[in-house]
Structure 1
Amino acid sequence: MSANENIPLLVTIPHSGEKIPSQAPWLKGLPEEILMCDVDRYVDFLYEPALQKLKIPLVKTEWHRYAADLNRIPEDVDSTSVIGNKNPAGSFNRGFHWVITTYKHQLLPEPMSPEIHKELVDLVYTPFHESVKKQFQNYSDQGFKKIFHIDAHSMPSVGTSEHRDPGEIRADIVVSDSKGKSCDPRFKDLVIAAYVTAGFKVGYNWPYFGGRVTEQYGHPSKGHHTLQVEMNRSLYMDEKTKKLKPEEAKKVQDKVLFALNYIRSNLMHIM
């Protein structure tokens, strides 16, 4: 499965970071079951061996999504999260700064100052997105007219009351393209086929449609094709304790390698 030629494919993992910045002291001391409730824990562990083997660029962060969520934009805040913000309280409970978890645990006890908000933007958001844009530019500079991008995430195995699908048991993988807007449908079909052939049960645009990353980078008219790929956490971890299940995780790593190699090997047909 060696990478024999340069293919314009990159992967981002915006939610696997667990480091708490000094600007977010309210997160320190929280029980692990709460602190890791919505983190895409181990997604980098599952994908990185395959990405390294196939020489596919990766952009990820070390920072915790509750402090600054990279699948949001800095404007996704309200008066509950940032002092004096014009957006009404509660309109962005799980926005750029998380106020509550998807299980309704309280995170942010009081809104932060606009100055702290800006510091978190500069520390977390800007470097990550500058790195993503640089990867796109690198491929463009090499003469590629089309660039393909997978934004990798994880999801609870069952929807919570804060999701669109409360109580629903989810597929192994959910592929989202902003309701058909973020990529060539042939790329979506290829990615779905890759994960299905690898042995996953795959859903499309439910319960996730895609986030701000797919919105920001998925511009088919410019040749930029982005997909969000969510993986069911029950495949590789204990969802209550947030601990890895090593044997199951190794099987997932092998399937991810198969899927990414399948995608990489077949991209030339849609380039």
Structure 2
Amino acid sequence: MKPVEVSRGDGPIVLGIPHSGTWLPGHIKAQLNDRGRTLADTDWHIDRLYHGLLPGATTVRATFHRYVIDANRSPKNESLYPGQNTTSLVPVTDFDGRPIWSTAPDAAEVAARRAAFHTPYHTALEVELKRVQKRHGVAILYDCHSIRSQIPYLFDGKLPDFNIGTASSSSCDERLEDLVQSICKATGGTTATNGRFKGGWATRHYGRPLHGIHAIQMELAQSTYLENEAPPFTYDELKSAHLRSLLAEILGRIASLAPELGR
């Protein structure tokens, strides 16, 4: 299996999907313990949730699981949230702080995984962002994520429904941030901007609004579209239909805003 799938569109938006993949190469799967093999930290069904919402959108999706290597972490393994609990480039624990490996990968294996999986994903993402920017004068990376709404190891209490990350308002034009925030707030659902989630490495790395590339991360609480947030992490058709309508509005209005951002 290829580490990345790309679906090219002719519009100004690139959807990044780094964490919905569940592929584990056999030798890596064999190194995981029973807890690790549940793949609990997957962004379950996010590719399905966003599929077909915006005609013309380009999608770049990692097929491998984040336990292989996390495509939304710095290749240098620098912490996104210094001083807070988080997971590393190749996670050694799950989101509950529990070990996931029977045989943890050493530095040489981490380097090999970075070359085989992390680099191809970001090479593809960069190629598409540059292609889109050349066509439109601007490119917008909308990074698609989800997470369980309650994970005491990572954050206190219950996570808001919509968690918008723009690297403390530095990764995109403020009009883009304000637009997404206003749509989410209008739903009556709970919303946070640059709260516990400020955007991962992709948002921070690619978001250069002064150079025509804008990046925003949407971290959805999985309670907004799953029947439950435990195995088997079943997709809820009714919840998802409502959420897809909202996400389609967000993406459509971002696309409409793109020409103004390119001026």
* Alignment TM-score, normalising by the size of structure 2: 0.84
Give 5+ residue unaligned stretches, structure 1.
79-90
Q: Which whole-Å CA distance do the structure 1 matches of 2:50 and 2:146 have between them?
A: 12
What corresponds to 2:149 in structure 1?
157
What corresponds to 1:106 in structure 2?
99
The correspondence for 2:245, drawn from 248, 254, 266, is 254
The one-letter code sitting in structure 2 at the alignment partner of 1:69 is D
Q: Aligned-pair distance for 1:183?
A: 1.2
How is 1:170-185 mapped onto 2 (pairs within 5 angstroms)?
170-185=159-174
Residue aligned with 1:15, SS: coil
Residue aligned with 1:50, SS: coil
Residues 196 and 24 of structure 1: CA distance in aligned 2, closer, same or farther (over 3 Å): same
How is 1:1-271 mapped onto 2 (pairs within 5 angstroms)?
7-26=11-30, 30=34, 35-51=38-54, 54-76=55-77, 94-142=87-135, 144-158=136-150, 160-163=151-154, 165-166=155-156, 168-197=157-186, 200-237=189-226, 238-241=228-231, 242-271=233-262
Q: What is the RMSD computed on CA atoms of the aligned residues? A: 2.7
1:23–1:120 CA contact under 8 A, matched in 2 = no
Residue aligned with 2:23, SS: coil
Residues 146 and 227 of structure 1: CA distance in aligned 2, closer, same or farther (over 3 Å): same
What corresponds to 1:83 in structure 2?
none
Residue aligned with 1:94, SS: coil
1:151–1:226 CA contact under 8 A, matched in 2 = yes
The one-letter code sitting in structure 2 at the alignment partner of 1:119 is A
Q: Aligned-pair distance for 1:175?
A: 0.5
Q: Aligned-pair distance for 1:19?
A: 0.8
Q: Aligned-pair distance for 1:145?
A: 3.2
Q: Which whole-Å CA distance do the structure 1 matches of 2:186 and 2:256 have between them?
A: 14
1:26–1:108 CA contact under 8 A, matched in 2 = no
Q: Which whole-Å CA distance do the structure 1 matches of 2:241 and 2:96 have between them?
A: 28
Q: Which whole-Å CA distance do the structure 2 matches of 1:132 and 1:219 have between them?
A: 15
Q: Aligned-pair distance for 1:191?
A: 1.9
Q: Which whole-Å CA distance do the structure 2 matches of 1:240 and 1:177 have between them?
A: 29
Q: Which whole-Å CA distance do the structure 2 matches of 1:26 and 1:94 have between them?
A: 21
Residues 134 and 101 of structure 1: CA distance in aligned 2, closer, same or farther (over 3 Å): same
Q: Write out per-residue CA displacement over residues 212-267 of structure 1, whole angstroms, 9 at most, x where no aligned residue.
A: 11121011221211111101101111102222222222222222222212222233
Q: Aligned-pair distance for 1:148?
A: 1.3
Residue aligned with 1:244, SS: coil
Q: Which whole-Å CA distance do the structure 2 matches of 1:40 and 1:126 have between them?
A: 20
Residue aligned with 1:55, SS: coil
Q: How many residues align?
A: 249
Q: Which whole-Å CA distance do the structure 2 matches of 1:95 and 1:56 have between them?
A: 30
Q: Write out per-residue CA displacement over residues 115-141 of structure 1, whole angstroms, 9 at most, x where no aligned residue.
A: 322321122111111111111121233
Q: Which whole-Å CA distance do the structure 2 matches of 1:227 and 1:195 have between them?
A: 14
Give 5+ residue unaligned stretches, structure 2.
1-8
Structure with bigger gyration radius: 1
Q: Aligned-pair distance for 1:110?
A: 4.3
Comparing 236-245 with 37-46, which one deviates more in the overlay?
236-245
**Identity of matched residues, %:** 22
1:20–1:27 CA contact under 8 A, matched in 2 = no
Q: Which whole-Å CA distance do the structure 2 matches of 1:195 and 1:170 have between them?
A: 14
Q: Aligned-pair distance for 1:68?
A: 0.2
